[in-house]
Structure 1
Amino acid sequence: MTTASSPNLLDVNRRFYDALWRDAVLIAPQRFNTWPLVDALAAQAPRRLEVAPGLRPRLPVAGTAFADVSPPALRQLGSQGGLCVQALADALPFPDAAFDLVCAFDIIEHIEADEAAVAELARVAAPGAALLLSVPIHMAAWTPFDDFVGHYRRYEPAALLALLRRHGFELRRSAAHGMQPKSTWLLKLGMWFLTHQRERAMWWYNRVFMRFALGAQPPLSPAPGLIDSDGVDTLLLECRKLA
């Protein structure tokens, strides 16, 4: 699901997510609370790219370009009509201005050289293209789970907006987002099982946790500009690429 330019983080991400996707099933994008927003944007965007979706794509799979480092994820996406390439987020193998809609959910926090990754997102986005980006926010909210899943950082909202502006993106709307359990106890239990009893953990993840989490998603509520991020764990931004 993620990429990283740091060799150590890249290794952490590949080990964790290859193991995750090897035993997981693809979840259709229509099952996520992002679908109404994505569906409206995709209807106006024939050229679409999603970076590092793993098996949790948010864009329509058929006809969408996907760049990921995980072969198990790419195989399943390709079997459903996705146009798949194995690539890092900070080295995308696409021409300039190639896409009308670019998505990067929960990606750039895994990349040490996030400036280079956002530059790549900007390079492949056509003028006027939409960018959907989600990241965990507030370093004060850092937990052992961030280390476990290979995060390099959490973002402060003002610094995130400045990063996007440097690469020609203008914020349109934002929303609270994310499916991570809020219970510290549940996170610790999940990490223990993934480390010590991976097969059992994956059975519960695929058959119990994901079904519960998908059913418990609140409607996504995008608001103009930047929302009040106090108490928000993950922020979703809808941006436009300036000409």
Structure 2
Amino acid sequence: MTHDPAAPPSAEVSDVNQRFYDQLWADSRLVRPERFNTWGLVSGLARSHDRRLEVGPGMRPRLPIENTHFVDISPPALDTLAAEGGITHTAPVSELPHADDSFGLVSALDIIEHVEDDEAALAEISRVAEPGAQVLLSTPLHPEYWTPFDDIVGHYRRYEPDHLMDLLDHHGLEVEQSAIFGMKPRSSRLNDLGMWFLERHRPVAMKVYNRFLMPLGLRLQKPLKLHSGMVATDGVEEVFLVCRRR
């Protein structure tokens, strides 16, 4: 099982995604990729791959911005990335506007859980990655960890780890390394408070997140600790994957 039975209908989730992220990015400042714990890995990979694609970066890109291709559905995010030297395209992940085998490095963090047809999304990500390309993914795990936050941010699903591995294998993506991921606060009370504000006072909550909580999260994030293959997933809410396209 990959989808929580309490999640809203497909059309509603799609609308939630569009509204939520347009509003979030319109009131956000760009966070440069160097500020994330993925940079140590990404900067090394980027030096080896000048043909790069990031899908759904919003205002939080992880790949170097200049000369990287970015695909998103949010105009505020794409306008900002273009101004910084990115090559931008408006499209959903299930219809990437690139030829087969176009890129040596592809990043799609926190994407596949937001689309109804994750099979189509992964098929497209794999299609545009050249054979041997490295593909960076992240996604939430364990349907039993579903909370109102998943509804608010427009998740269709959380993945059972075994199903996720089978899905990646089906699309020619082999997991080489992985890490525990995410910037969610450990405090359940803080999470509950944040969700309460998002449900009842969303504009205020987004401003507080963008101006205070996001900078704090960047300061408190731990180094990315990569493991060979798939990390042990018991109790893990989100995983970061370094894959290679066969």
Opposite residue 137 of structure 1, the aligned amino acid is L
Residue 188 in 1 paired to residue 192 in 2? yes
For 2:23 and 2:213, the matched residues in 1 are separated by 17
1:232 is aligned to 236
Contact 2:152 2:198 in 1 (8 A): no
2:155 to 147, 151, 160: 151
String of CA shifts for 1:145-184, please: whole Å, max 9, x gaps. Answer: 1111111110111111111111111110000010122333
Give the alignment partner of residue 91 of structure 1, picking from 92, 95, 99. Answer: 95
1:170 maps to which residue? 174
Alignment counterpart, residue 24 of structure 2, candidates 20, 23, 27: 20
Equivalent AA in structure 1 for residue 93 of structure 2? A
Q: Please name the residue that 2:46 is paired with.
A: 42
**Structure 2: any 5+ residue segments left out of the alignment?**
1-9
CA distance in 2, matches of 1:18, 1:167: 30
Instruction: Tell me how far apart the structure 2 counterparts of residues 78 and 235 of structure 1 sit (CA, whole Å).
Output: 29
Distance 2:16 2:205 in 1: 18
Q: CA deviation at 1:206?
A: 2.1
Aligned to 1:56: 60
For residue 22 of structure 2, give the secondary structure of its aligned residue in structure 1: helix
Structure 2 SS opposite 1:101: strand
My pick for the range that moved more, 9-18 or 184-193, is 184-193
Aligned to 2:207: 203
Deviates more, 1:218-227 or 1:174-183: 174-183
2:141 to 131, 137, 149: 137
CA drift at 1:140: 1.2
How many residue pairs get matched?
237
Opposite residue 184 of structure 1, the aligned amino acid is S
Alpha-carbon shift at residue 29 of structure 1 (Å): 0.4
- TM-score normalised to the size of structure 2? 0.93
Q: Secondary structure at the match of 1:90?
A: helix
Rounded to whole Å, the distance in 2 between the matches of 1:69 and 1:207 is 23
Matches of 2:206 and 2:213, distance apart in 1: 10
* Code of the aligned partner of 2:158: R
- Candidates 112, 118, 124, aligned match of 1:120: 124
% identical aligned pairs: 54
Q: Which runs of 5+ in 1 are unaligned?
A: 1-5
Q: 3-state SS of the aligned residue for 2:180? A: strand
Aligned to 1:3: none
Query: C-alpha separation between the residues in 2 aligned to 1:124 and 1:72?
Result: 25
> What is the CA distance between 1:233 and its match in structure 2?
1.1
What is the CA-CA distance between 1:201 and the residue it aligns to?
2.1
Q: TM-score, normalized by length of structure 1?
A: 0.94
Distance 2:11 2:63 in 1: 29
- Work out the CA distance in 1 between the residues paired with 2:93 and 2:192: 29
**Residues 152 and 199, structure 2, Cα contact 8 Å, conserved in 1:** no
Three-state SS of the structure 2 residue aligned to 1:66 is strand
Structure 2 CA distance for aligned equivalents of residues 92 and 207 of structure 1: 32
Aligned mate of 1:69, from 66, 69, 73: 73
Instruction: Tell me how far apart the structure 2 counterparts of residues 188 and 86 of structure 1 sit (CA, whole Å).
Output: 34
Alpha-carbon distance in 2 for matches of 1:157, 1:39: 28
Query: Aligned pair 1:10/2:10, yes or no?
Result: no
Give the Cα separation in 2 of the matches to 1:64 and 1:7. Answer: 31
Q: Which residue of structure 2 aligns with residue 109 of structure 1? A: 113
Give me the whole-angstrom Cα distance separating, in 1, the residues matched to 2:176 and 2:202: 40
